[in-house]
Structure 1
Amino acid sequence: MPETTESESRKLLRRLRDTLAEPGKGQERLDRITHIIADSMRTEVCSIYLFRDAETLELCATEGLKAEAVHKTRMRVGEGLVGRVAKSAQAVNTGNAPAERGFRYMPETGEEVFSSFLGVPIQRLGERLGVLVVQSKEAREFSGDEVYALEVVAMVLAEMTELGVFVGEGAALSALHQRSEMFRGLVGQEGVAAGHVWLHEPRVVVTNPIADDPASESVRLREAVDQLRLSVDDMLSTATTADTEQRDVLEAYRMFANSRGWMRRMEEDIASGLSAEAAVEKEQSTARARLQTVPDTYLRERLHDLDDLSNRLLRILTGQGAETGAEMPDDPILIARNIGPGELLAYGRNLKGIVLEEGSVGSHAAIVARALAIPLVINAERITTEALNGDPILVDGEQGVVHLRPEDQVKAAFKDKMAMQAKAQERYASIRDKPAETLCGTRVSLHMNAGLMADLPSLEGSGAEGVGLFRTELQFLVRNKVPRRAELASLYSTVLDAAGGRRVAFRTLDIGSDKVLPYMKRQEEPNPALGWRAIRVGLDKAGVMRMQLQALIRAAAGRPLTVMFPFVAQFEEFTAAREHLLRELDREERLGRPLPSKVEIGAMLETPSLAFAPRQFFELADFISIGGNDLKQFFFAADRENELVRRRYDTLNVSFLTFLEQIVGRCNETDTPVSFCGEDAGRPLEALCFAAIGLRNLSMRPASIGPVKHLFRKTNLNEAREVIDKARVSGAQSVRPAITEWMNSLDWNA
């Protein structure tokens, strides 16, 4: 059989384009396509398998196999040779299919007489769409040119599937971007929102995958690449020498933009009959497929660079993207694979919700979303490939569920849920200025967590008595270089102004682990959560700590100043950090600058070791704030970034509550004020139990203050304590069932 030459590839693509332009239903088009491919490649069989769901492939069209098998033959990903292609996203080429590893005999297709098999993935930018197969009776492997030709055809089929060309009969043929879809992810920030999709990186749709004039397409590609190279050079020229991480990324961009191999492969794709855009996307899809299988972190980052660069090139070629003038909807729900804190802050509170394909509960995006009180769902797989700008969308940040293009009944149920929450917020607003005082007369101070100036307006509206935690690292995370002392002093002064005399507890720089500064060289550590972070970085990089402490002192300028040091694991770390602050106070006094009227120096208790520190620690600390998120993960030895274990251990576990009570007891012995800070403080049931074991200060996100205060004003802590004690005596692992049952028995209208 003669080899399939590049000119024959162009002929095949031209025939495909012509047949796709003819009227007909989806199934008719698929049938014509399989006939054309088999005829052009001189094979007895051509079959198209498309995904019915995420794990199942369905035979949707065939030339050469039994017609009755269409829409009946199905297989799981990884099952048979077709399933193997789908799983690996790599071609399978063999002259003896029955002898191949994993071969599955499907008698209903009649394929047993065909010895040769070539299968290639139908995929678009990492999205698996199906498998394209050709078979013949002659026992031989297909040539490299034939494999390449079939990959080019599969690329075109992927684009046509994207454009909805194959809408028609058959369960696997419904159009992309039209069905109602539900995505299950993870809770990044609680809350619910309804709105319309706004894509952070708008999807580029290639409407002309086949081109007649390879020479003009090559010229278009070269001109676009030249423009891309100039833009990368411009970015490099504006990057400062201090921005080493940024420069490393841009240098990688320039390396790829000038890569002869990348350019050669795209020109070969154009010679085979693809348009310039389709050639770029074909190589991008190949890189995405490699990305899924590369274990090396460095190589994965380089493939990410190539992926991002390809997106830039596609936008130059097509004129599509954010810069085309598309208008953000009035109720935008941001959809992205991932997003940096600076980019997210640029959107600000305009966003109603955020959905990410990647990310973690401790990521920079999650930190900013929590600071902005915007509902966030993370790890919603495939949503960037399915969503289009303007699609209606519902985000349930409490369940980690996203409804894209929802059905009417889902909309109605969601509307009812939002109405109930709005009604509850009205009820909370009515008690905003009232104390969080229980029926037994116990008063609990409720403070809010913050990290951005945008948080401060919530101080008045939420009913918070002050800021129990101001995260100072966000100002470092959103910049490309270390902020100046004067900038920080101005910001901290504005925070104190906005607080209107209420107490603000500034936590010093808490970086490391999941919070890596863009201009700081990342330390490769086997377990970053237990590594070089927070106070450890501050003590080792004393210059940065001193600069921040000076900024805080100058910001106070005669007002009270409250500073707490994060992740203190032992007494001497606290004394060393405290000495730094005292020295800076002496220095500022010598320089004649006004000192704070009062200084409180405290520590965050986030490691079990600090709970057993010498009594002198509790006597020396002006206050202690229990950092619940970290303390819980270390107490249970359960990484809070690991979805396999982070939900296994209950905050209301008897052991953990007993441990917290011991900390409260040690603080009471020395009259050291103690608070609980973290997500659990904002959950009403957990907050009630914390108050029942003796905690009288809680710090939480602003939106949680209303629900917590409402519950406190309706319950008796003495009764709650009795329930907790009985659960302990009974040997229960958690007090949650008992406390829930007790609350359900209360008369809430009394």
Structure 2
Amino acid sequence: MTQQSSESESRKLLKRLRDTLAEESEGQERLDHITSIIAESIRTEVCSIYLFRDADTLELCATEGLKPEAVHQTRMRLGEGLVGRVARLGRNINAADAPATKGFRYMPETGEEIYSSFLGIPIQRLGEKLGVLVVQSKDARTYTDDEVYALEVVAMVLAEMTELGAFVDEGAALSARHQHPVLFRGLVGQEGTAEGHVWLHEPRVVVTNPVAEDSEAEKERLTAAIEKLQVSVDDMLDHAKFADKDQHDVLKTYRMFAHSRGWLRRMSEDIDRGLSAEAAVEKEQSAARTRLQSANDAYISERMHDLDDLSRRLLRILTGQGTETGAEMPPDPILIARDIGPGDLLDYGRSLKGIVLEGGSVGSHAAIVARALAIPLVIHTRDITTEALNGDQILVDGEQGIVHLRPEDNIVSAFRDKIAMQAKAQERYADLRGQPAQALCGTTIALSMNAGLMADLPSLEGSGADGVGLFRTELQFLANRSVPKRGDLARLYARVMDAAKGRPVVFRTLDIGSDKVLPYMKRVEEPNPALGWRAIRVGLDRPGIMRMQLQALIRASAGRPLHVMFPFIAQLDEFRTARDMLDREIAHEQSLGHTLPSKVRVGAMVETPSMAFASAAFYAETDFISIGGNDLKQFFFAADRENERVRRRYDTLNVSFLNIVQMIVDRCAEADVPVSFCGEDAGRPLEALALAAIGLRALSMRPASIGPVKHLIRRVDLAEAHDVIAAARARGDQSVRDPLNAWLTDTLTRGN
């Protein structure tokens, strides 16, 4: 076949498919008709369509040429046989001698033993695997490039029609997509529970017209949309402000893609074959994804994201979907996204009831902002952006990392009962707001809150916190596209102190690096970022930003006490260098005649085991110590807290971990240095009880945890709890959790 004749045949085939899809018929009837049309058009004896029943199982859903009784009976696992390999790899397999091809598996119930040649084409939509289109013939032949191309176009249309539910019926074909309840299991990014309706950060663009009526008109639409896209990208490049050359180069590469003649040519050829402009964009996006996903290279991966983003922008221009004229945000929005930056998340603000991400990490920008806004967050929920639709009912359980999409009534009822119980408990905790966290033995524990935004500060009154034990200063840097100005930071820090109304506020200096990368700072690729160039290491190597931040803090204090804490100190000289930097800035501010803080207290976060064994000079030179429980725990157990396979193996109440915490507490006592514990575990009542029992007299946590922790501490004797822990140590127990739980249950039962 010549190129021109193949194009003509392709257009004829797509027109017949379009007419079939427009008919009033059941899903199974449509599938059967489609396989007949394809087999006739390609002049081959067999055409079969395999679709996914679940994430790992393909099912023969329609065939022309194989035994009819095999339909809905023949199933195979992902990767099994040639069909399974096509689905797993996302690539074509074109074999003249199928039985001799690697991975072949004979399916006797289909009667396929008489067919030699095999061509399998993945049916997929933007990386989402939907099924496999197969043609077979008795002759041992390799299908031509023109035939392969024509079937790829057909597979693209089948993917769109599968997405739109064209093959759904009440019989044996497919069940409707986006209608059934789906349970997603992810990781906890921020605790809490929420019920609401889906709001997609990047709405799915649904292509409702995959087949072109008029190819010339479609190409004109595509050209106009491309020109509009190019203008917007050019404008973005011309008006953007760049912190370094790398950012400028990245956006120039982005513009290069937008102006690519090859990209436009390939999409125009797809339209000539019979696709609509929208379908052509998606076909090339899927093809590019298939090519680039196999490359294990960070640069290539970033380019794939560029192409994805450009394609989505182009589709939104073509369809008008996802613009200001689109759907309205529901009154109880739960945000669904692949990932999201802090700036975008802050723009949504407290209007969100919950957040669910396909990516993210427990220490990511999104997690930090979610904690600051007290919004439940679940991360690593695979494929939720392809399953969820705007307006779907959704339940987010941030306590267990579970998301219920389109839940059944009994799930909704149980979930609402859980929320009601939590609300009732919070009412009980509100009565304790003005009372101290004083145990029955008379010991009082100071309970402070963690914060990072001005929006957090009203929680000081509402939670009954004694102060702000940790104010994360990086959020103001992460949410901006350029370095914040010193004056702006000074005004913000002053407002934080004003809102605290005399309560202490501990400002942690910039803690960036690892998975917290400033948008205007060149990303440093490291094999293990958590152990790499981060926090104080960045501050000391790039002193300009830290000096500016310290100046802002000094000016904000305006005669009030100032508490500054340096993060991730791993050895004494890092603390000394940082403190010397602060002392120099104080002297400089004094020379300028600025008002100095009435008192300056300088502390360090102990997050590495090395500082438990530091020289006595370290403890003597600090004004206070804060144990950073999250990092200390992951480094102590060598268990990455982002890695679900290992992080749950190790318990905070493990005797060995309590021993190192006890060592730090004892060393602080010897040096007469106040010490607190900051982290997720400080806000868990049983863990907080154990920490208080081994000598910690200050804990810092999220505001919502203060009530439950205070409620428990006021009902127990810490000396008795200490004895339980000591007995567990003496017995050689690995963890004190079970004995402490048993003692607590008995104590509270007797108390009631």
TM-score by length of 1: 0.98
Q: 2:202 maps to what in 1? A: 201
The share of aligned pairs that are identical, in percent, is: 74
Segments of 5+ residues of structure 2 without an aligned counterpart are none
1:619 aligned to 2:620? Answer: yes
Q: Distance in 1 between matches of 2:295 and 2:647?
A: 26
1:171: how far off? 6.0
Q: Distance in 2 between matches of 1:284 and 1:352?
A: 33
Query: 1:59-90 deviations in whole A, cap 9, x for unaligned?
Result: 11111111111111100000000000000000
Q: Distance in 2 between matches of 1:639 and 1:375?
A: 22
Give 2:201's aligned amino acid.
Answer: H
Q: Distance in 1 between matches of 2:440 and 2:285?
A: 63
SS in 2 for 1:532: coil
Give 1:223's aligned amino acid.
Answer: A
Q: Distance in 1 between matches of 2:292 and 2:175?
A: 28
Give 1:641's aligned amino acid.
Answer: E
1:603 aligned to 2:642? Answer: no
Give 2:294's aligned amino acid.
Answer: T
SS in 1 for 2:76: strand
Q: 1:461 maps to what in 2? A: 462
Give 1:281's aligned amino acid.
Answer: E
Q: 1:235 maps to what in 2? A: 236
Give 1:93's aligned amino acid.
Answer: N
1:434: how far off? 0.9
Q: Distance in 1 between matches of 2:375 and 2:250?
A: 30
SS in 2 for 1:747: helix
1:322: how far off? 3.8
1:220 aligned to 2:185? Answer: no
SS in 1 for 2:162: helix
Q: Distance in 1 between matches of 2:694 and 2:747?
A: 20
**1:183-198 to 2 correspondence within 5 Å?**
183-198=184-199
Q: 1:638 maps to what in 2? A: 639
> Given that residues 245 and 519 in structure 1 are in contact (C-alpha distance below 8 angstroms), is that contact kept between their aligned partners in structure 2?
no
Structure 1 residues 322 and 417 mapped into 2: Cα distance closer, same or farther (>3 Å)?
farther
Q: 1:154 maps to what in 2? A: 155
Give 1:154's aligned amino acid.
Answer: A
1:391: how far off? 0.6
Q: Distance in 1 between matches of 2:235 and 2:463?
A: 46
Q: Which stretch shows the higher mean deviation, 340-349 or 211-220? A: 211-220
1:134: how far off? 0.6
> Given that residues 10 and 273 in structure 2 are in contact (C-alpha distance below 8 angstroms), is that contact kept between their aligned partners in structure 1?
yes
Q: 1:412 maps to what in 2? A: 413
> Given that residues 52 and 171 in structure 1 are in contact (C-alpha distance below 8 angstroms), is that contact kept between their aligned partners in structure 2?
no
Structure 1 residues 535 and 2 mapped into 2: Cα distance closer, same or farther (>3 Å)?
closer
Q: Which stretch shows the higher mean deviation, 135-144 or 540-549? A: 540-549
> Given that residues 244 and 522 in structure 2 are in contact (C-alpha distance below 8 angstroms), is that contact kept between their aligned partners in structure 1?
no
> Given that residues 49 and 57 in structure 1 are in contact (C-alpha distance below 8 angstroms), is that contact kept between their aligned partners in structure 2?
yes
Give 1:240's aligned amino acid.
Answer: K
Q: Distance in 2 between matches of 1:651 and 1:243?
A: 42
Q: 2:719 maps to what in 1? A: 718
Q: Distance in 2 between matches of 1:291 and 1:715?
A: 59
Q: 1:268 maps to what in 2? A: 269
Q: 1:548 maps to what in 2? A: 549
Q: 1:745 maps to what in 2? A: 746
Structure 1 residues 637 and 117 mapped into 2: Cα distance closer, same or farther (>3 Å)?
same
Give 1:142's aligned amino acid.
Answer: Y
Q: Distance in 2 between matches of 1:723 and 1:130?
A: 58
> Given that residues 60 and 170 in structure 1 are in contact (C-alpha distance below 8 angstroms), is that contact kept between their aligned partners in structure 2?
no
Q: Which stretch shows the higher mean deviation, 135-144 or 322-331? A: 322-331
1:243: how far off? 5.6
> Given that residues 694 and 722 in structure 2 are in contact (C-alpha distance below 8 angstroms), is that contact kept between their aligned partners in structure 1?
yes
1:738: how far off? 1.4
Q: 1:35 maps to what in 2? A: 36
> Given that residues 243 and 480 in structure 1 are in contact (C-alpha distance below 8 angstroms), is that contact kept between their aligned partners in structure 2?
no
SS in 1 for 2:274: coil
> Given that residues 239 and 246 in structure 1 are in contact (C-alpha distance below 8 angstroms), is that contact kept between their aligned partners in structure 2?
no
**1:278-297 to 2 correspondence within 5 Å?**
278-297=279-298
Q: Distance in 2 between matches of 1:171 and 1:246?
A: 53
Q: How many residues are treated as equivalent by the alignment?
A: 750
Q: Which stretch shows the higher mean deviation, 639-648 or 72-81? A: 639-648
Query: 1:174-219 deviations in whole A, cap 9, x for unaligned?
Result: 1111111111111111111000000000110001000121111111
1:324: how far off? 1.9
Q: 1:434 maps to what in 2? A: 435
SS in 1 for 2:194: strand
SS in 1 for 2:105: coil
Structure 1 residues 702 and 280 mapped into 2: Cα distance closer, same or farther (>3 Å)?
same
Give 2:485's aligned amino acid.
Answer: R
Q: Distance in 2 between matches of 1:503 and 1:16?
A: 71
Q: Distance in 2 between matches of 1:681 and 1:614?
A: 27
Q: Distance in 2 between matches of 1:613 and 1:406?
A: 53
1:703 aligned to 2:665? Answer: no
SS in 2 for 1:489: helix
SS in 2 for 1:567: strand
SS in 2 for 1:5: helix
> Given that residues 665 and 695 in structure 2 are in contact (C-alpha distance below 8 angstroms), is that contact kept between their aligned partners in structure 1?
yes
Give 1:205's aligned amino acid.
Answer: V
Q: 1:512 maps to what in 2? A: 513
Query: 1:383-416 deviations in whole A, cap 9, x for unaligned?
Result: 1111111111111111111111111111111111
> Given that residues 693 and 722 in structure 2 are in contact (C-alpha distance below 8 angstroms), is that contact kept between their aligned partners in structure 1?
yes
SS in 2 for 1:323: coil
Query: 1:712-744 deviations in whole A, cap 9, x for unaligned?
Result: 111121121121111111211111111122222
1:669: how far off? 0.6
SS in 1 for 2:568: coil
1:339 aligned to 2:347? Answer: no
Q: 1:24 maps to what in 2? A: 25
Structure 1 residues 246 and 389 mapped into 2: Cα distance closer, same or farther (>3 Å)?
farther
Across the aligned residues of Structure 1 and Structure 2, the Cα RMSD in angstroms comes to 1.3
1:246: how far off? 4.3
Segments of 5+ residues of structure 1 without an aligned counterpart are none
> Given that residues 282 and 311 in structure 2 are in contact (C-alpha distance below 8 angstroms), is that contact kept between their aligned partners in structure 1?
yes
Q: Distance in 2 between matches of 1:526 and 1:75?
A: 38
1:636: how far off? 1.0
1:644: how far off? 2.2
Q: 1:95 maps to what in 2? A: 96
Q: 2:681 maps to what in 1? A: 680
1:269: how far off? 0.6
Q: Which stretch shows the higher mean deviation, 696-705 or 535-544? A: 535-544
Q: Distance in 1 between matches of 2:242 and 2:576?
A: 36
**1:474-485 to 2 correspondence within 5 Å?**
474-485=475-486
Give 1:610's aligned amino acid.
Answer: M
**1:297-308 to 2 correspondence within 5 Å?**
297-308=298-309
1:526: how far off? 2.2
1:597: how far off? 0.9
Give 2:605's aligned amino acid.
Answer: M
Give 1:724's aligned amino acid.
Answer: I
Q: Distance in 1 between matches of 2:190 and 2:134?
A: 44
SS in 1 for 2:646: coil
